[in-house]
Amino acid sequence: MTTAPSYDSARTRPAPAFPLPDLTTSLPAGPVETSPAALAEAERITASAPAELFACLLADQESESALIAARRVLTAFLTPAPEDEAAPGDASAATANTAATAADADAEAEADAVAAHVLAARADLAAALAPLRDHDDPAIRAAVLRQRAPLALTGACWLDTVSQAATQPAEIVGRLFGQHWLLQGEGTAEAGQLARRRRALAGQGVYLPEVEAAGFLRDAGARPLTALHAAFRVALSRLPAAFLPEVVGVHYAAHALGVDELLLGGEPMLAESDVRPLLAEYLAFTAQSPNGPEDRRRVLAAVRLLVRLEREHTAALTELARWQEGLSLDDEVAAIVARHAPHAGRQHRAVRLGSRKLTDWLDDEHLDAAAFVAEFRTSRQVRPARDGGPCRFLKSIKFGGPMFGIFDEREAAVFTAWTRSIAAGEPAGPPSGPATAGDDAARAWTARLTAARPADLVPREPGPAPDERTFFHRIVNFERYPNVLPLARARAEAGLTDAELLFTHGAGGLLTDAEYFDYTPEALLERVERIYWDKLVNPYEPLTEIPDRDQVVFEQSTYALGSLIDGTWAHRIANLGRRARRSDDMLFSIYADEMGRGDMAKNHITIIHKVLASMDMDLPHIRQDAFLDQGDLPDHLYGFSVHQVCLSLFPDTLYNEILGYNLGIEMFGLGAMRLHEIQKLRSHGFDISYEEAHLSIDNFSAGHARQSAEIVVAYLDDVRRASGGEAVQREWRRIWRGYASFAYFVEHALVKRVRSAQAEPVTAPATAADLVI
Residue type, 255: H
pLDDT of residue 348: 65
User: Residue 91 — pLDDT band, cuts 50, 70, 90?
Assistant: very low
Average pLDDT value for residue range 44-73:
98
Residue 134, helix vs strand vs coil: coil
Question: Which residues have CB under 8 Å from 393's CB, separation 6+?
Answer: 381, 382, 415, 419
Determine the Cα–Cα distance for residues 51 and 313; give it in Å rounded to an integer.
Answer: 16
Q: pLDDT: is 670 or 482 the higher one?
A: 482
pTM value > 0.85 = yes
Which of 246-260, 585-599, 671-685 has the weakest average pLDDT?
671-685
Amino acid at 552: V
Q: At residue 760, does pLDDT exceed 90?
A: no
Cα 414 to chain centroid, rounded: 40
Q: Pick the range with the lowest mean pLDDT from 18-27, 160-169, 444-453, 627-636.
A: 627-636
Is residue 701's pLDDT more than 90? Answer: no
Nearest 5°: phi and psi at 357? -70, 145
Question: Which range has the worst mean pLDDT, 257-266, 382-391, 412-421?
Answer: 382-391
Helix, strand and coil content of the chain, in percent to the nearest 5, comes to 60, 0, 35
At residue 17, the pLDDT reads 63
Of 352, 646, 599, which Cα lies nearest the Cα of 495?
Answer: 646
Pairing of strands 457-459, 32-34: parallel
- pLDDT over threshold 90, residue 88: no
Asked whether the predicted pLDDT for residue 663 surpasses 60, the reply is: yes
Q: Grade residue 83 by pLDDT with cuts at 50, 70 and 90.
A: low
The model's confidence at residue 758, banded by pLDDT at 50, 70 and 90, is low
Neighbouring-strand partners of residue 228: none
Whole-Å CA distances, 574 to 61, 538, 583, 597: 12, 36, 9, 15
What does R_g of the chain's alpha carbons equal in angstroms? 30
Phi, psi of 424, rounded to the nearest 5 degrees: -80, 0
- Angstrom distance (rounded) from CA 51 to CA 703: 42
Question: Side chain identity at 244, as an amino acid letter?
Answer: L
Q: Is the peptide bond before 240 cis (omega within 30 degrees of 0)?
A: no
CA atoms within 13 A on the CB side of 651: 24
How confident is the prediction for the chain on average, in pLDDT? Answer: 91
Statement: residue 770 has pLDDT above 70: no
pLDDT of residue 383 exceeding 50: yes
pLDDT digits (tens, 9 = 90+) for 59-70: 999 999 999 999
Q: Considering only 207-216, 349-358, 419-428, 588-597, which range has the smallest mean pLDDT?
A: 349-358
Report the sign of the C-alpha dihedral through residues 260, 261, 266, 270, in that order: positive
* CB of 144 closer than 8 Å to CB of 226: no
8 Å CB contact between 144 and 321: yes
State the Cα–Cα distance between residues 462 and 492, nearest whole angstrom.
17
Over residues 180-207, the pLDDT tens digits come to 999 999 999 999 999 999 999 999 999 9
Cβ burial of 46 (10 Å; 0-12, 13-18, 19+) is: buried
Q: DSSP label at 533?
A: I
Lowest average pLDDT, out of 5-14, 104-113, 407-416, 569-578, goes to 5-14
Question: Whole-angstrom Cα distance, residue 65 to residue 600?
Answer: 34
Question: Given pLDDT bands bounded at 50, 70 and 90, which one contains residue 651?
Answer: very high
pLDDT category at 635 given cuts 50, 70, 90 is confident
List pLDDT tens digits, range 121-178.
Answer: 999 999 999 999 999 999 999 999 999 999 999 999 999 999 999 999 999 999 999 9
Specify whether the CB–CB gap between 642 and 475 falls below 8 A: yes
Measured between its terminal Cα atoms, the distance across the chain in Å is 26
Rank 221-235, 407-421, 543-557 by mean pLDDT and report only the highest: 221-235
Domain ranges of the chain: 38-78+91-325+441-458, 329-423, 468-770
The 3-state DSSP class for residue 493 equals helix
Mean predicted confidence (pLDDT) in 245-251: 98
pLDDT for position 467: 93
Please say if the pLDDT value at position 2 is more than 90. Answer: no
Model confidence at 451: pLDDT above 50: yes
pLDDT score recorded for residue 633: 86
Q: Report CA 110 to chain centroid distance, whole Å.
A: 31
Closest CA to 728 of 740, 718, 739, 742: 718
Predicted confidence (pLDDT) per residue in 459-496, tens digit: 999 888 899 999 999 999 999 999 999 999 999 999 99
Alpha helices, H only, 16-106: 36-47, 50-59, 64-78, 91-99
- Structure confidence at residue 11 (pLDDT): 32
In order, the DSSP letters of 351-394 are -EETTEEHHHHHH-TT--HHHHHHHHTTSGGGSPPTTSS--HHH
pLDDT given at position 696: 82
pLDDT recorded at residue 637: 84
384 pLDDT more than 50: yes
The yes-or-no verdict on residue 658 having pLDDT over 60 is: yes
**Which of the residue ranges 23-32, 85-94, 727-736 has the most confident prediction, judged by mean pLDDT?**
727-736
pLDDT-based confidence at residue 434 (cuts at 50, 70, 90): confident
Residue 10 has pLDDT above 50, yes or no: no
Residues 6 or more apart from 485 whose CB is under 8 A from it? 62, 63, 64, 67, 478, 649
Task: Encode 663-727 in three state secondary structure.
Answer: HHHHHCCCCHHHHHHHHHHHHCCCCCHHHHHHHHHCCCCCCHHHHHHHHHHHHHHHHHHHHCHHH
pLDDT at 89: 37
Q: How confident is the model at residue 698 (pLDDT cuts 50, 70, 90)?
A: confident
DSSP state of 545: S
Q: How confident is the model at residue 350 (pLDDT cuts 50, 70, 90)?
A: low
Are the C-beta atoms of residues 439 and 225 closer than 8 Å to each other? yes
Using a pLDDT cut of 70, give the percent of the chain over it. Answer: 92
Give the pLDDT of residue 92: 45
